[in-house]
Amino acid sequence: MIPGSFDYHAPTSLDDALALLTEHGGDAKILAGGHSLIPAMRFRLAVPEVLVDIGRIPDLEYIREEDGHLAVGGMTREVALEDSDLVNAKYPLLADTARVIADPLVRNLATVGGNLAHADPANDHPATMLAYGASVVARGPNGSRTIAIDDFFVDLFESALESNEILTEIRIPTPPAHGGGAYLKMERKVGDYAVSAVAVQLVLDGGTVSSARIGLTNVNPVPMRAKNAEAELVGKAATDDVLEAAGRAAAGECDPSGDLRGSAEYKRDVTRILTKRAIRKAVERAKGGN
């Protein structure tokens, strides 16, 4: 299980990296943390002719708040999210997510940008970023553009990024007071992809959920928002009946396929339950229980 041959470039500036991507077009792949790409190359599921390693470009690893959002550099390692006091204090949904991605050794190298750009519905950050209503900054030869996360996931393993664009930053709106979120994942064993996982980010107004976004992991061919579940929740108090209705809506609108992790039916039911639990936890956090 050795990857196929490729030409390797390790540019030290974004401009050089973009020039390489433009020159090689669809034959090139971007190498970030490598924890999705290298296994895919070993299985020969990916056979790029050229690798552009963006790991030596400075200033792509950071976590900071600015202008009402959390800015996360594309090359930020998962472990940095886990260790960040800011993330743990104000972005519990993100902190929850980082802790359940693969295992600690993988998280030392795997990147947030790579997790999103791979556009794998089994990855964990897509659902979380959908729930946050995040946006993604893509740098191309003609400058940067911002892509709303709702427009980012196009198809299985296909994002809105052009072949000569690099995901440089993720922007997560800072939750308002009385905002809360949670990520709950069920996995068969450590390091496995989710059977199902649910990301919830909501805002409470008194006893009422005034807004909510819900993202689902690994129960649809494309990372998805559970919009019907959101609709069951918004404008209501999070009573047991409302939670059940939201859970049922999420189970109904996802489209899992049966595999080693369980039948489609089973995955729908896990999704129903995780949706309820994640909403409950998000509500508790919004009330300040954390």
Partner 1 sequence: MGITISVEVNGTTYEREVEPRTLLVHFLREELRLTGTNVGCETSLCGACTVHLDGLAVKSCTQLAVQADGAKITTIEGLADNGSLHPMQQAFWDEHGLQCGYCTPGMIMAATKLVEDNPDASEDDIRHGLKGNLCRCTGYQNIVKAVASAAKAGGAR
- Residues in contact with partner 1 by CB under 8 A are 1-8, 10, 31, 34-35, 38-39, 41-43, 51, 53, 55, 79, 102-106, 108-109, 190-191
What is the identity of the amino acid at 41? M
Give the pair of three-digit tokens for residue 17: 């990296």
**Residue 137 Cβ vs partner 1, minimum distance, rounded to whole Å:** 24
In the complex, the smallest distance separating the C-beta of residue 279 from partner 1, rounded to whole angstroms, is 26
- What does the alpha-carbon distance between residue 18 and residue 285 come to, in Å, rounded to a whole number? 42
Q: Which is nearer to partner 1, 97 or 201 (CB)?
A: 97
Q: Which long-range contacts (CB under 8 A, 24 or more apart) does 94-102 make?
A: 94/70, 94/128, 94/132, 94/172, 94/181, 96/181, 96/182, 96/183, 96/184, 97/124, 97/125, 97/128, 97/183, 97/199, 100/124, 100/183, 100/185, 100/187, 100/197, 101/125, 102/35, 102/78, 102/191
Rg of the chain (C-alpha set): 19
204 vs 186: CA distance, rounded Å: 26
Residue 187 or 284 with smaller CB distance to partner 1: 187
CB of 289 to partner 1, least distance (A): 22
DSSP, collapsed to helix, strand or coil, labels residue 88 as helix
The dihedrals phi and psi of 107, each to the nearest 5 degrees, come to -65, -20
Nearer to partner 1, 39 or 288 (CB): 39
Query: How far apart are CB 12 and partner 1 at their closest, in Å?
Result: 12
Q: Which is nearer to partner 1, 110 or 279 (CB)?
A: 110
Question: Is there a contact between 125 and 152 (Cβ–Cβ < 8 Å)?
Answer: no
Nearer to partner 1, 65 or 103 (CB): 103
Whole-number minimum distance, CB 275 to partner 1, in Å? Answer: 26
- Tokens 């990301």 -> residue: 199
Is the CB of 96 or the CB of 230 nearer to partner 1?
A: 96
Q: How far is the CB of 235 from partner 1 (least distance, A)?
A: 39
Q: Give min distance, CB of 22 to partner 1, in A.
A: 21
The amino acid at residue 237 is A
Whole-angstrom distance, CA of residue 135 vs CA of residue 116: 11
- Nearer Cβ to partner 1 (62/155): 62
